[in-house]
Structure 1
Amino acid sequence: MNNLRAKLQTLVWLLLCTIVGTIPLLFGAVHPIVLGSYVLLILVVLGGWLVFTAEPGELCIGNFWSIVPLILIVWLVIQALPLPLSWVEIISPQRADRIIKVNELAGIDIRFLPLSENGPVGLYRSFLLLALLVLYYSVRSMIRQNRRVFRWLLYSMIGVGLIEAIYGLMQFINPSIGMLWLDIPGRAAHGTIIYKNQFASLLNMIWPLAVAGFAAHFAGRSEEKGGQQLSRKMRMQRRFLSVSRTEAILFFAATVPMLLAVLFSLSRGGILAMTLVALLLIVLLPFTVKKKIIFVALFLAVLGGYGSLLGLDTIVSRFGSIGGSGGTRLELYLASLPILFDHWLAGIGLESYTLLSPVYLKGFPANIHFDRAHNEYLELTLELGIPMAILLFCWLVAGLIRVAGKLRTPALRSAEERSRCIVVVAAFCGVIGFLAHGLVDFGWRLPANLVYAVTLLAMIDAAATPEKKGTDEPVTFFSPEKRGETP
């Protein structure tokens, strides 16, 4: 039985690394067949492994953090199912009025209809959301059982970021390279992602992990036990993320192309999100001010050198038009509000904005079609309705507060604590950058980005609340009783 369990763990371990290592490479899995294949693998293999191997209470299905996603899944299914027209008239009068007019004009008799304007897509996305929930518990459980899983996930994600970054920089230098078998509209880094904004959003979640790998090498150089200083080998083994000098150099070398690729994606939202993530890392990483200044100077020197070769003036000129673009976005947000006023309770359904925007958006050129609201929070509110959107956003804010509370600590005295803190801080900053970018773009619509965001959240949970040996109760490494204690 133990042998079978070990083989299952190995299979799941390899599958997790395969998922995060391949899902961004084919346009971020936007094609329904590609995405459906990944969802099937997650639900069947990872879901089956969780059911048969999870410890009692490990999944915590009944707590607030799992209940909210399950409620959203149920709501998406309800939006997609056909309901009697009389019900829809009560829940979503504007939706019912449109169908009644269709019946009158076309001479048909539609008596059952979904609340969503695009019901099948909403139902399809509900399976994706369920798969993301399974992925979260799988990653968290595997890391807690075997620390090496974290290392291999880290390598897989950074490897993907490096490949995407180098490909994107090559596209900027020579746009004729294209994107897989598609042409690139203009000179910018896209990698294998169709929209450069989504490309920048993906890299902004990955490069902080490379910084964490680099910084983990400097997590702590001296620990004592029983009055005797530990050897370097023992100190490295006792860290959550042990990094040799050679690995630290490689992590640094991987970070630079990713930062350059975000810059030369020319995504203004991505560059601003990158700046926010960098500032958070500078503030939150557990190092002295002197070390932080050295790290920042090192990165700026390398970025400035390589960036000047590629042409920093292109980035500067890109920001020269931010005022006009910002004004257009604000007009778009205001013009989208009537959709919310008409569908405030039930929403219009996922991926339905592109269907209703031509009807509601006034004052824009007739030949321009806005398929996105360019603000994830606004668009989700339109799609889910105000009650469900409030539930979702409160869940996000509560989760961020919960994680941020674990970052507040006056002293991290051991290398174990420092390495864990570095990991949590890096993943947390990546998630913050992803959420902040959603204010002006639609990076959440890329399945690969959602997979990476959920993986980061699971890595945060697994690293910040490791299980104490000999007990089933997780203990936070930042908690007072752990400070100063040799792990």
Structure 2
Amino acid sequence: MRPLGSIFLTRVTIALPVLFLPFFLGGARPWFWSMFAALFMIGTAVLLWMEPESPSLMREIPVKWQGAGVFILAFPVLQLIPLPPSALAVLAPHRLLWLQRAAEAAGSPQGGWAAISYLPVMTMFSLFWWVFLVLFGILLRNALREGSPEWFFRLLFFVAASEALYGILQVLVPSLGVLWEAAGTGDARGTFVNRNHFAAFLGMIWPVLLGYTLSPEEPPSRLSRQKTYDARERNAQIRQKQLFFSFLVGMVLFALVFSESRGGILSALIALTAFTIIGRIRRPGMLAFVVVCWGVMIAYGSIVGFGNIIARFDVLEGGALGRFKIWADSCRLIRDHFLTGTGLDTFAHAIRLYQSHLLDDQEIVHAHSDYLELAGELGVPVAAGLTVLAWGYWVLAARRAWKLDAGENLPDRRRSSGPSGTLSLSDIPGGSGSAIHRSPIPAGLRAGGIHCESGGDSRRRLIAAGALAGCLAFLCHSVVEFNWQIPANQLYFVVLIVLMSL
């Protein structure tokens, strides 16, 4: 049993970045995200000091998580190591070429050692943030598995509802801007400067909140057998809570639509379809709603013309043309830095050497495609590995969620004789006499009022389906936007990965 002080500190350490990063421009300013990453590291160090024998951070870390963490963090470290010119000529010849040209222009001697990264300081700070994301994911996973997750979902509801309400107010009051940074434009952006990033943020959260809302807090079969006054009151409270949470989810979806982000709305449709399929939602109303939404989308494209839609797709925020041209310039950068990239978080600086269609006083900051930007910063082999890792994990988690009802990943379910999964040793080869207890449901999902396997499986499936749908929306939207470059979106993407694995 963990001390209450340790549990409280764990929740505070997790809650601080989850709560505050979205509310301050999505955490997109280095001074802000670095502050919360540092606070998290301090909280983690205190937790390790309070629990030296069984620290919550290090408890039950699967080998696959350890391997993924090493793979994610190892290459940026290698980009920081100074190399001799002979090694750079093999690994990053264009990096060496630009160094030689810079030395000639400055009239300084050539031939010094240099790192692969074009800006080692930027890469080092971004690596620090990635370390934070990995540690945050591990700590959140262990915290949700060992205790009730209700506190965390209520925190997600508060953040999402606050952002959605602020976004709707921006539509109703067009002059309402984004804190101190941007003037009002009449569309919903919440506390994010860019409406596409706001749409991506809400697109990740709403399916998880919907899954939590639809999941029964207690198995219906148990509730139906209870006819007492207390049971009826409990049923009424559950229905009222679901109605309130449903209202909040609807408000989040309204704000997403009012953002007028084409990629965000399309990604939300993809998420809705994925949630319906993976969550095995068989209600005719939900299925009809999905069909109608896709029908409206296809009809709109037919009326307006898909050629015009593609032309509008090339128009960036503020009416600037050039998404396809930015991709062309990014591909040239990737070609010249195919193996090792330019260094983590250096794209905005390295692309200046390749931009071909903007005036001298304008510059490309992002590739408007997270996949291209990662390939430019980390090189094609590592970026492809990260992409395969993300999509492969999504497929495996989707298969696992799909099998929850069938019980293929929960052995001997039909021999379970009680709410907690009591098995007789006589049912096990070589066993006899006494009984053992096994529970395929994580303690965190069992603690919130889930008392039997059927209810636990339903809640796990719906929450996992919501996380999978939100993750799919983010991965699809990132094809045409740089959502991964926003710290709040990165953090919540890690949250989705954790919820997919519960």
Q: Aligned pair 1:334/2:352, yes or no?
A: no
Q: Aligned pair 1:169/2:163, yes or no?
A: no
**TM-aligned CA distance change 1:257 to 1:92, over 3 Å:** same
- What does residue 372 of structure 1 align with? 366
Distance 1:235 1:83 in 2: 71
Q: CA deviation at 1:264?
A: 1.4
Residue 252 of structure 1 is aligned with which of 246, 251, 262? 246
- What does residue 311 of structure 2 align with? 324
**TM-aligned CA distance change 1:335 to 1:243, over 3 Å:** farther
Q: Which moved more, 1:205-214 or 1:264-273?
A: 205-214
- What does residue 27 of structure 2 align with? 29
Query: Match of 1:342, as an amino acid?
Result: D
Distance 1:322 1:243 in 2: 47
Instruction: After TM superposition, list the pairs within 5 Å mapping 1:148-297 onto structure 2.
Output: 150-184=149-183, 186-217=185-216, 220-223=219-222, 229=225, 244-290=238-284, 292-293=286-287
Query: Match of 1:216, as an amino acid?
Result: S
Query: Match of 1:414, as an amino acid?
Result: S
Q: CA deviation at 1:375?
A: 0.8
Percentage identity across aligned positions?
A: 24
- Flag structure 1 segments of 5+ consecutive residues without an equivalent: 305-312, 463-487
| Secondary structure of residue in 2 paired with 1:373 | coil
Q: Aligned pair 1:433/2:466, yes or no?
A: no
- What does residue 484 of structure 1 align with? none
Query: Match of 2:496, as an amino acid?
Result: L
Query: Match of 1:38, as an amino acid?
Result: F
**Are the aligned partners of 1:176 and 1:183 in contact in 2 as well (CA < 8 Å)?**
no
Q: Aligned pair 1:85/2:85, yes or no?
A: yes
| Secondary structure of residue in 1 paired with 2:326 | helix
**Are the aligned partners of 2:216 and 2:458 in contact in 1 as well (CA < 8 Å)?**
no
Distance 1:318 1:187 in 2: 26
**TM-aligned CA distance change 1:433 to 1:48, over 3 Å:** farther
Q: Aligned pair 1:145/2:142, yes or no?
A: no
| Secondary structure of residue in 1 paired with 2:253 | helix
TM-score after normalising by structure 2: 0.79
**TM-aligned CA distance change 1:291 to 1:323, over 3 Å:** closer
Deviations 1:387-421 (A, max 9, x none): 21122122112211220111223548822211121
| Secondary structure of residue in 1 paired with 2:34 | helix
Residue 498 of structure 2 is aligned with which of 452, 455, 458? 458
**Are the aligned partners of 1:115 and 1:346 in contact in 2 as well (CA < 8 Å)?**
yes
4+ aligned runs moved over 6 Å, structure 1: 231-237, 294-297, 316-320
Query: Match of 1:324, as an amino acid?
Result: A
- What does residue 406 of structure 1 align with? 400
Q: CA deviation at 1:57?
A: 7.7
- Flag structure 2 segments of 5+ consecutive residues without an equivalent: 315-321, 408-452
Query: Match of 2:338, as an amino acid?
Result: W
Q: CA deviation at 1:253?
A: 1.0
- What does residue 137 of structure 2 align with? 136
Q: Aligned pair 1:119/2:123, yes or no?
A: no
**Are the aligned partners of 1:345 and 1:386 in contact in 2 as well (CA < 8 Å)?**
yes
- What does residue 483 of structure 1 align with? none
| Secondary structure of residue in 2 paired with 1:210 | helix
TM-score after normalising by structure 1: 0.81
Instruction: After TM superposition, list the pairs within 5 Å mapping 1:344-355 onto structure 2.
Output: 344-355=338-349
Q: CA deviation at 1:214?
A: 2.5
**Are the aligned partners of 1:16 and 1:153 in contact in 2 as well (CA < 8 Å)?**
no
